[in-house]
């Protein structure tokens, strides 16, 4: 501040604030605001701007950028001022500055051309975003840590969308579920449950998480792998998202995995009826109308059947149904063994 004390600062005419709309607006604003002439010398600053540098507004007015900022920043700021004055347009800007205690802080705002009496100047208004930047960095680090945990911990981790579909998954999760990692994305998580109707506690916990009532929960589940085996697991659920934006996802981690048990595929009555209609050559539209199902519900059942019977296509589903004895090999129209012959066509 030696230049301030020496009395070498030029004096700029500073009319009453109400003669300058920007000054009248920013004088008492919590945002940091300033005006500089084309040489980089301050003609006006508010208290919030001076506070960023640990001084008073009267001490700032008349100083040059080089008196309060580091040389590298001075060159950059002057170049931006020249751009604003040349183009006559506002510029959105994010800057890093050093606080009086030596810590680095961040601010974001705009610079734009303005008049100070008859002089053409650059005005700026900024808000401190240090806490926001710090929180964003912490969130990014936390997400990176979660992905490292997902990929290298050996835990079966998946991230689910609020509607229950897999958006991310780790290799261990794909191995537990017996499917390729690339095939997990987009699949409904309840397609891997032995019988969704038996998992009341799990679905209750899920509803509490996605509605924002809870941040974490635990429940037991019986998982069905792609090869048809089942194993019991403890599922840990953690909601992702801020209260203001709502839940954006849920991390699910399966632990305490029990031993694999080979089970005979047992479609539900509705799924068995779908297989019967598939074997009869009916289209998805026909099946949905016949069983009074929405296309979304039918797609869910077909996805579940593909996992249950290890059959990726419609012909494979029908073939597996005959091999497993789910359909009678001697009956037409197709029907399960022991089912009464229908009185009319399927």
The CATH number covering residue 282 comes to: 1.10.10.10
- Please count the structural domains in the chain: 3
Reply yes or no on whether the pLDDT at 5 is more than 70.
no
Look at residue 84 and tell me if it is in a domain.
yes
Instruction: For residue 169, tell me if it sits in a domain.
Output: yes
User: Is 12's pLDDT higher than 60?
Assistant: no
Output the pLDDT for position 341: 59
- φ and ψ at 227, to 5 degrees? -85, 5
Can you give the CATH number for the domain in which 114 is found? Answer: 3.30.450.20
Question: Is residue 26, in this structure, part of any structural domain at all?
Answer: yes
Of the two residues 102 and 340, the one the predictor is more confident about is 102
Has residue 197 been placed in a domain? yes
Whole-angstrom Cα distance, residue 31 to residue 303? 55
Beta-ladder partners of 124: 34, 111
- Contact predicate 298/306, CB 8 Å: no
Question: What digits encode the pLDDT tens for the residues 130-152?
Answer: 888 888 888 888 778 877 877 88
- Are residues 203 and 243 both part of a single domain? yes
pLDDT digits (tens, 9 = 90+) for 147-179: 787 788 888 999 999 999 999 999 999 999 988
Query: Considering the chain, what is the average pLDDT of its residues?
Result: 84
- Pair (77, 57) in one structural domain: yes
* Confidence tier at 2 by pLDDT (50, 70, 90): very low
Looking at the fold, whether 37 and 98 belong to one and the same domain comes out as yes
The predicted structure's pLDDT at residue 217? 95
- Residue 250: band (very low, low, confident or very high) from pLDDT cuts 50, 70, 90: very high
pLDDT band, very low/low/confident/very high, at 202 (cuts 50, 70, 90) = very high
- Domain membership of residue 329 (yes or no) is no
Domain shared by 137 and 254, yes or no: yes
273 and 318 both lie in a single domain: yes
In which domain, by residue range, is 140 found? Answer: 133-262
Do the domain assignments include residue 58? yes
Last residue within a domain, chosen from 193, 228, 262: 262
Same domain, 123 and 142: no
Answer yes or no: do 6 and 58 share one domain: yes
What's the predicted TM-score (pTM) here? 0.47
Please check whether residues 121 and 230 belong to one and the same domain: no
């Amino acid at each position: 501040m030696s230049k301030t004390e020496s009395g070498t600062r030029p004096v700029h005419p500073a009319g009453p604030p109400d003669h300058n709309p920007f000054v009248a607006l920013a004088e008492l604003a919590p945002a940091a605001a300033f005006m500089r002439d084309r040489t980089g010398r301050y003609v006006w600053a508010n208290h919030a701007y001076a506070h960023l540098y640990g001084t008073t507004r009267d001490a700032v007015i008349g100083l040059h950028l080089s008196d309060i900022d580091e040389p590298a920043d001075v060159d950059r700021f002057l170049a931006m001022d020249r751009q604003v004055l040349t183009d006559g347009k506002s510029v959105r800007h994010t800057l890093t500055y050093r606080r009086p205690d030596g810590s680095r802080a961040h601010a974001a705002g705009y610079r734009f051309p303005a008049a100070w009496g008859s002089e053409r100047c650059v005005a700026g208004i900024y808000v401190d975003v240090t806490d926001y930047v710090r929180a964003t960095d912490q969130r990014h680090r936390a997400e990176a840590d979660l992905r490292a945990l997902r990929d290298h911990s050996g835990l079966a981790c998946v991230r689910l969308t609020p509607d229950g579909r897999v958006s991310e998954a780790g290799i261990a999760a794909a191995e537990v579920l017996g499917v390729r990692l690339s095939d997990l994305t987009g699949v409904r998580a309840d397609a891997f449950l032995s019988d969704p109707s038996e998992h009341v506690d799990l679905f209750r916990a899920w509803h509490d998480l996605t509605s924002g009532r809870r941040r974490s929960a635990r429940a037991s589940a019986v998982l069905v792998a792609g090869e048809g085996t089942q194993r019991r697991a403890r599922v840990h659920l953690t909601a992702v998202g801020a209260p203001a934006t709502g839940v954006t996802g849920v991390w699910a981690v399966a632990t305490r995995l029990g031993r694999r048990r080979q089970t005979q595929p047992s479609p539900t009555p509705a799924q068995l009826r779908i297989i019967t209609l598939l074997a009869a050559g009916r289209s998805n539209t026909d099946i949905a109308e016949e069983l009074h199902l929405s296309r979304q519900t039918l797609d869910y059942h077909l996805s579940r059947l593909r996992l249950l019977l290890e059959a990726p296509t419609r012909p494979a589903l029908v073939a597996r149904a005959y091999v497993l004895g789910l359909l009678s090999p001697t009956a037409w129209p197709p029907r399960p063994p022991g089912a009464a012959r229908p009185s009319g066509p399927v």
